[in-house]
Structure 1
Amino acid sequence: MARIAGRFRRVEPRATARAFVLGLLSGAERKNCWQLAEQAGHNRPGAMQRLLRSARWDVDEVRDEVRSYVLEHLGGDGVLIVDETGFLKKGDRSAGVQRQYTGTAGRIENAQVGVFLAYASEQGRALIDRRLYLPERTWCEDPERRSGSGIPETVEFATKPRLALQMIEAALDTGCRTSWVTGDEVYGQDPQLRAALEARGVGYVLAVACTTRVRINEDRTVVQAVAAAATLPPDAWHRQSAGAGAKGPRYYDWAWVQIGADHNRCLLIRRNPATGELAFYLCWSPGAVALSALVRVAGIRWCIEECFQAAKGQVGLDHYQVRHWISWHRHITLAMLALAFLTAVAVSTKPTRSTDPNRPVRSSDPIHLTIPEIRHLFGSLLKRPASSVKSLLAWSIWRRCHQAHARSCHYRRRLATSSPI
């Protein structure tokens, strides 16, 4: 918290921000303003709500501190990973919400979509940047909706790959040392993103669809990626691990095919040994690299899914109940800070070397401290004494009064807009 203290102009929001982050690290059932205020011992959620909406502090400056904090603790020459995640919502007033596909639900749902940037190294992984995706027609071209949700006039429509590139360039401009960027098909299919990374000398391993057309052979024949894989001889495939999974190394068969005239540009193909299912990646690097290097980067892409799981399950990334543009960014950024703290603690608790290198590893030895375990231990240490009956009842009465007022407003609005039969 000392790192971000200077980003607050007054002591009151600074203290509230500390209570907010401690609440995110606690065992509170839901990490919204109501429950975080009760967890902090406040009488009302007003201070927490003001922190997210009207208090004067620069959320992007705090985001920059989160990024530098992560880079300091996870070491250099990691991999930048881009991906989006959905936040299921009701209604139509939350900034950026509409019916759209989200992998969170696996179908089209009413949701907001956030594009995120993660940093992963051998030490660990964490989220370092975020952008809220605004659909073009339903939001960017609707001044009334924009104004109602507090979207700044300077914010224009940007595709998800464009938002990803903005975050990547911001990380590189602030001194992030990385040789690779990876992402799924949404980003691999965008030629502008690939060209921008090449212009900055940053290699990439980006997933693409099986129908992607590539140039192979000396005569530069254009074929679909799946057709290029079908022509490979058996000895072109190599069994390699894409990294450690929950149940052991993730072994796949891998092959690569040079595409175009650039010797450092290739199509990487992954085959599931059990099902034969294929996945394809467009790869480029400023210098010659081994197949194992591309396989490592392709396998690291799944780290951002682990970040989403930890952020939503441990620090309430998706527990917010806000509609405003600035409120969304403030909640998300403070949740990223809480996740970064847990990641830094996990890194610091890993032993640098065994006290006895000749001692064999036994199955009874505990694994390294995980983020969920650290959050549980930290939350237990911060657990407040049992609230008095008077305090519990006061919060119960306040919640029920607030809910009664909200219900009354909804009924009046419905009756006013409904025509008699």
Structure 2
Amino acid sequence: MADSSFSLKSIAIPAYGPSLLFGFANGAILPVIALSARDLGATPALAGLIIALIGLGSLLANIPAALITARIGERSALLGASAITIVALLLCIFASHTSLLALAALLIGVSTSVFFLARQTYMIEAVPFYMRARALSILGGVNRIGMFAGPFVGAGAMHFMGLAGAYWVGIVALIASTILTYLMPDLHVAPKEQDIPVARPRMLQIAQEHAGIFASLGLAVLLISAMRAARQIVIPLWADHIGLSPTTTAIIFGISSAGDMLVFYPAGKIMDEWGRLWVALPCTLIMGLSFAAMPFSDTIVPFAAVAVLMGLGNGFGSGINMTLGADASPDHGRTEFLGLWRLISDVGTSAGPFLLSGMTALVSLGAGVMLTGGFGFISAAIFWRFLPHARGSKK
């Protein structure tokens, strides 16, 4: 039975503080890694490849991260992830060759996978089901806030310290995250009566037992992740296509990101009170429509409107991937299941930009954007078919 006295305020600092600081650190350093690569003599193509290693590291680490987290526990995994990222940022600062920077990028991706898998598992265990979507939406939202604020503070530090300033900002934030995680007491998790000391299931066993979920809702999650990754490329590419200046593009992208942050809590509340479908559908349909409309925006005003709509759609889906994964995960073998779930999501994140680029090369940028928008309509259809329609439907 759900604990009706539970309040998210009671766990706000231990639950969300480290995530906010981790997102802040990533926001500070991600915009400058490519610039560091260029300073070390990398070509634009090599700099882009080094950035891509972050996503590759996250993709490759999902299964090992699940196994490690299941063995050492969520709190230790969080501490380890922050420590690995600090080492990676020190490598970025003192790198004398692009190979060291590439290693740092790979480590950042690995630690990010470990951190968010451990954080998600921690929240699922600590928060009652009736508040799960709000808790996970806020988790996604505070990371967005950190990613939004980090670049501004990093830019201020770079004014005085050069590129290294952004990395030092990230290191300070990560040290604060590590201290907060270490000092805060473990979130209280009520014991489950059905818990019995049996061997943990193997990853292959989890994959086989839940193959239907991975092939249905997992596919929809993959498509959402592909759209989200492509969104970060589509907005600047289309702005350049219609002749907007870099400054104007940056401002519009910032406004779109601000819209992204406005709706994460209402989305979580709707999911908890009405059901997952009534956030999954608006998120995917709004993003699909905004991608489909982008090729028809040939001046600044309609382009800005579409970019903001895209941000709102993305923000409305804050936490949806984590919530659906949490709902589908078994009590026994949950961490292993979530590792596979994150793997599917990261495949979409990695594939989205490549599919966009491929269609752009073969046909046109407009065709690539339209193809990406189609992912939204496909995922909406999957959600309509497989998610409960009744208000307040439970797991």
Same fold (TM over 0.5): no
The structure carrying a bigger strand percent of its residues is 1
Task: Give TM-score, length-normalised by structure 2.
Answer: 0.27
Structure with greater Cα Rg: 1
Q: Structure 1-normalised TM-score?
A: 0.26
More contact order relative to length (CA 8 Å, sep ≥ 6):
2
**Hey, which of these two has a bigger chunk of helix by percent?**
2
